[in-house]
Amino acid sequence: MNRLRNRLILVFILATLLPVSLTIWTTLRLLELSRGLAPLAELDAVSRSLETTGRELYRTSCELLKQEALDGRIQPKKLAPPNFSGQAEQDFWDSGDQEQCNLAGERSSRLDFLVRHEEKVGVQVWVYSRPMGVAMEDLTARYADARAAYERASGRDIRRGFSTTLIVVASALWLAALGALIYLAARISQPVQQLTEGLARVGAGDLSARVAVSSSDEIGAAVGAFNHMADQLEHSRERLIHVTRVATWQQLARKMAHEVKNSLTPIRLTMEEIISRSAPQLGKAGEPFLEQAAQIVADEVQTLEKRVRAFSEFASEPPVSPEEIDLNALVEERIAFLKSSHPEVKYDLRLAPDRPMAIADPDLIKGVLTNLLENAAQAAGAGGIVRATTFANGATRSVEVHDSGPGLSEQARSTLFEPSISFKKGGMGLGLSIARRSALLCGGDLQSIEGELGGAGFKVVLSGEEGRNGAEANPGG
């Protein structure tokens, strides 16, 4: 369950649902008030009044015209069939009515009173006319339009239509915003969830846990900080494991050196006693044998003493005196020192510009570089290549050594820095372990990396000027 995403959605619902509800309620109230102010009732009354007025005007005009005709105040137009002046006269003639009032003229602006008369010459239609003063056709059209508008307005439920439309539109917009929020909440909360899972894995001891950086905002910065922290923890754990193992081996080396040294002294004294006692008795005939035996014993004692010195060096804790060193100059010096021992090897030197300066003990770093370059030359062999590269990256300085030799197997990589584990003839197995310990004492580290020339690759990491105080305060890393 993604709690952050659900909280974002809940906050959105609580923050928007009440304002949207209040907005809809207010709009509906305003709509109701505006509907109450609408002149639908007045429109109905005016249209009906207009109808009554028009009918009364027509009736009064007809009676007035008829009275004027009877009083002889208007002279008629006498028409006999079939010489009628219009269709109205013909329709009156065909209807058989005795008298009739009709609207006539342009836009019904004249009123005609038609009367059937018997004359000597035959039946005639007398037409009495007078202007209406109002275009009755226009009055009829206005009345029809008003009634149609009123019928349309009253035939529909305006309030319900507007209310339904408002609710549908507001709900659609709110749901669209909610969908967008759900999408954005998932995008925002997913990196946080991944970061939480990564922290849980690191808390459970899995220091290889990493989270992919998918943004450049604050969450992306937090993910990057987590990955950096996990890297530092993983390297710190590796260094701690190595230091613990080295401490164990150092204790064993001290004991072994002490025991072997105690054994060498009586062997040497006994041999000297045997030679001194046997020489007068054996004479010249025994001298070759004694000399040979003495030489064998001396050689073995020398070999043992060499191993004792190696273990004593491994078991000792050399003093660390960090200072500013020029990595480019130090690498050039070590390669020039070893070139004469391996003239058949080609050295590829790639130095960083601006002469990067590191803070470390120069004697210890010389020993580290000598060990790495010597191992690389032996692995590359005749015609092989050894590449040395220096880097400066922020507060970090580093030196990489690559060779074109056969490389290292996965098993060899897993035990590469273990004391007394050697993968070359005549090796003691202490060189890389001592080299890494020296790098750690200088506040850095020695790592095995992917070789660029097909063989082995090693990287010495040191602190730059920015990390000087930290290296001096904690030279043991």
Judge whether 47 and 56 are in contact, CB under 8 Å: no
Q: List, as own/partner pairs, every contact residues 76-81 make where C-beta atoms lie below 8 angstroms and the sequence separation is at least 24, other chains included.
A: 76/115, 76/126, 76/127, 76/128, 77/126, 77/127, 77/128, 77/129, 78/117, 78/124, 78/125, 78/126, 78/127, 79/124, 79/125, 79/126, 79/127, 80/121, 80/122, 80/123, 80/124, 80/125, 81/123, 81/125
Query: Does 248 lie in the same domain as 99?
Result: no
Identify the domain containing residue 407 by its residue range: 323-473
Query: Does 45 lie in the same domain as 29?
Result: no
Lowest-confidence segment of 102-106, 169-173, 217-221 by average pLDDT: 217-221
pLDDT grade for 111, boundaries at 50, 70 and 90: confident
Q: Examine residue 194 and state whether it is found in any structural domain, yes or no.
A: no
Q: Which residues pair with 109 in a beta bridge?
A: none
Domain boundary among 299, 316, 333: 316
Cβ atoms within 10 Å of 42's Cβ, excluding its own: 10
Cβ atoms within 10 Å of 145's Cβ, excluding its own: 11
Amino acid at 153: A
Q: Examine residue 199 and state whether it is found in any structural domain, yes or no.
A: no
Query: Does 392 lie in the same domain as 343?
Result: yes
Q: Examine residue 201 and state whether it is found in any structural domain, yes or no.
A: no
Judge whether 271 and 297 are in contact, CB under 8 Å: yes
Q: Examine residue 249 and state whether it is found in any structural domain, yes or no.
A: yes
Q: In the prediction, which pLDDT does 273 show? A: 66
Of all residues in the chain, the percent with pLDDT exceeding 90 is 18
Query: Does 468 lie in the same domain as 413?
Result: yes
Query: Does 170 lie in the same domain as 98?
Result: no
Most confident of 256-260, 313-317, 447-451: 447-451
Mean pLDDT of 98-114: 85
Q: Examine residue 375 and state whether it is found in any structural domain, yes or no.
A: yes
Q: Examine residue 404 and state whether it is found in any structural domain, yes or no.
A: yes
Judge whether 445 and 353 are in contact, CB under 8 Å: no
pTM: 0.46
Query: Does 369 lie in the same domain as 292?
Result: no
pLDDT in tens, 169-202: 778 877 887 787 777 777 777 777 777 888 888 8
Query: Does 311 lie in the same domain as 408?
Result: no
Judge whether 460 and 439 are in contact, CB under 8 Å: yes
Query: Does 150 lie in the same domain as 47?
Result: yes
Query: Does 277 lie in the same domain as 213?
Result: yes
Domain boundary among 301, 316, 331: 316
Q: Is pLDDT larger for residue 436 or for residue 476?
A: 436
Query: Does 332 lie in the same domain as 463?
Result: yes
Query: Does 162 lie in the same domain as 24?
Result: yes
The packing angle between helices 136-155 and 40-71, to 10°, is 160
Tell whether the model's pLDDT for residue 141 goes beyond 50. Answer: yes
Query: Does 18 lie in the same domain as 164?
Result: yes
Mean pLDDT of 105-123: 81
Q: Is pLDDT larger for residue 84 or for residue 385?
A: 385
pLDDT grade for 477, boundaries at 50, 70 and 90: very low
Amino acid at 136: M
Q: Examine residue 198 and state whether it is found in any structural domain, yes or no.
A: no
Q: Examine residue 202 and state whether it is found in any structural domain, yes or no.
A: no
Judge whether 360 and 303 are in contact, CB under 8 Å: no
Judge whether 220 and 213 are in contact, CB under 8 Å: yes
Is the four-CA dihedral 43, 46, 52, 56 of positive or negative sign? negative
CATH assignment of the domain containing 339: 3.30.565.10
Is the four-CA dihedral 15, 21, 22, 27 of positive or negative sign? positive
**pLDDT, the chain, mean:** 78
Indicate the number of domains in the chain.
4
Question: Which of helix, strand or coil describes residue 408?
Answer: coil
Judge whether 446 and 459 are in contact, CB under 8 Å: yes
